[in-house]
Amino acid sequence: MASKTDPVAPREPSYPTEAEQKWAEHGAVIVTTPQVEASLDGASRSESQTVKQALGRDGFLSSSSATSWLGPQGDNPWNVSYWTQAGWSRRAREASRKSGPTSEAGPLANQQTFRAWTCGQLYAPGGKLGVAGSEGVMSARGVFGAAGTVGAHGFARDENGQYVREDGSVVRSIEVKKPDGTVTEVDLAEHYEAEFAQSFPDNDTSWMTRAVAKRVTEDAATANLGSTVHMKSIAADGDKIPFTVPTDQWVTVAVVPERRQDSFRLTLTDRQGRFVAGSDSRSLGNAIQVQLPAGMELCATVEYVGTDGVSSSLTSALVQATVSPVVAFFGALYGARELPEPGAYRLFCTPSARDSAAVERHEGHQARVCWLDPSRGR
């Protein structure tokens, strides 16, 4: 069995790309769930409780939350996105003309609205709960917002999850008029089919996918993040989704289980397969928030590390009792396309607004990528 002292996999020296060099000079700030969890030892009691409730087994990255299979995203009749996949572009255009979500009065155009929603340093990009803030998974620029599958753009989706116009052509972004009269381009947030997401060469930072991961070996499940065993496991058994950062921004990547007892490990690697960051908490939702420059090429990998002997809480029991009749009704009426099975998960990637305010650097829960700049420690 692998131990927690496994050596870190050797990294071959290579000339960095322009984006990587810019990242190193900028500081390469990273926030992961294990770092946040470790920092709670010195936090106040109220802050510690807030973080644990938000990211815990019944938090917003849990199987019973709106981000999982019972929420608005999915291919079952109880998911809102099931009913919007055919598109409603004409009504969406009408809504934009009447100060709708994609107009100059909406969240995609008004940056002050974004800052007002951050609720201080705790929820700002780079904060301990940045993943749960207005620039995190639930951002207006993510799949749950105005740019997503249940958003206000109204485009239909094809079999791969790409948005298409009425003439069948693929659309990746929309133009949004800002309050000052200028126009900004906003990337749409897609719900890609798993096979397409893993092979799409031109992916950006606003998307989600749903898949079923293969369970890793016991040695790999207990290996230290970045160790040789861990990196070999990624190469052999991990679900890998590559993406490229379009503009300077904070990027949030989070994995959500569909079954309460399942545990996953989330890893970011660079274009050469080198370890950048990882999240493998067994008690909190696993997420990574990182500040990236335009042009940075990364790969998000999800591994199914096994099940935990956790009992259902009162919250999850109430959710199950409430939704079970609804699921049974819609399943019988329309047919259920995706139900939780061992290893089923959702992976979210969400960008921040370009000029979003972030927390100050050098906070205890933050880290840096040491291989880009040997003078900086983790």
Q: Go through the chain and tell me how many residues it has.
A: 378
**Which sequence spans correspond to the domains of the chain?**
18-368
- Shortest CA distance to 286 belongs to which of 300, 271, 299? 300
pLDDT higher than threshold 60 for residue 118: no
Distance CA(96)–CA(349), nearest Å, equals 26
pLDDT higher than threshold 80 for residue 328: no
Question: What is the model's pLDDT at position 355?
Answer: 55
Q: Tell me the average pLDDT across 312-327.
A: 58
Host H or E run for residue 244: strand 239-244
Question: What is the model's pLDDT at position 286?
Answer: 96
Cβ(86)–Cβ(156) under 8 Å?
yes
**DSSP 3-state assignment of 290?**
strand
Pairing state between β 190-193 and 207-212: parallel
Question: What is the model's pLDDT at position 112?
Answer: 47
> Is residue 7 very low, low, confident or very high in pLDDT (cuts 50, 70, 90)?
very low
**Residue 48 φ/ψ, nearest 5 degrees:** -60, -45
pLDDT higher than threshold 90 for residue 160: yes
* Of 154-158, 297-301, 329-333, minimum mean pLDDT range: 329-333
Distance CA(359)–CA(165), nearest Å, equals 39
Question: What is the model's pLDDT at position 64?
Answer: 83
Question: What is the model's pLDDT at position 1?
Answer: 41
CB atoms within 10 A of CB 225: 19
Question: What is the model's pLDDT at position 2?
Answer: 41
Pick 205 or 98 by higher pLDDT: 205
Cβ(151)–Cβ(187) under 8 Å?
no
Question: What is the model's pLDDT at position 140?
Answer: 85
pLDDT higher than threshold 60 for residue 119: no
**R_g of the chain, CA atoms, integer Å:** 20
> Is residue 85 very low, low, confident or very high in pLDDT (cuts 50, 70, 90)?
confident
Q: What is the 8-class DSSP label of residue 214?
A: P
pLDDT higher than threshold 90 for residue 264: yes
pLDDT higher than threshold 50 for residue 161: yes
Q: Kindly list the distances between the CA atom of residue 250 and the CA atoms of 20, 23, 130, in Å, as whole numbers in the listed order.
A: 15, 12, 10
**DSSP 3-state assignment of 165?**
coil
Percent of the chain past pLDDT 90, that is, above it, reads 31
Question: Which residues have C-beta within 8 Å of that of residue 326, sequence separation ≥ 6?
Answer: 78
Pairing state between β 163-164 and 156-157: antiparallel
**Residue 90 φ/ψ, nearest 5 degrees:** -65, -45
Residue type, 39: S
Q: Kindly list the distances between the CA atom of residue 64 and the CA atoms of 54, 70, 99, 314, 375, in Å, as whole numbers in the listed order.
A: 13, 7, 34, 11, 43
> Is residue 110 very low, low, confident or very high in pLDDT (cuts 50, 70, 90)?
low
> Is residue 114 very low, low, confident or very high in pLDDT (cuts 50, 70, 90)?
very low
Pick 322 or 197 by higher pLDDT: 197
Distance CA(72)–CA(78), nearest Å, equals 8
pLDDT higher than threshold 60 for residue 378: no
Q: Tell me the average pLDDT across 16-21.
A: 64
Q: What is the mean pLDDT of the chain?
A: 80
Cβ(26)–Cβ(291) under 8 Å?
yes
Give the pLDDT confidence of 137-151 residue by residue, as tens digits. 988 889 998 888 888
Question: What is the model's pLDDT at position 9?
Answer: 46
Cβ(372)–Cβ(293) under 8 Å?
no
Q: Tell me the average pLDDT across 228-242.
A: 89
Percent of the chain past pLDDT 70, that is, above it, reads 75
Give the pLDDT confidence of 34-54 residue by residue, as tens digits. 999 999 988 889 999 999 999
Pick 260 or 158 by higher pLDDT: 158
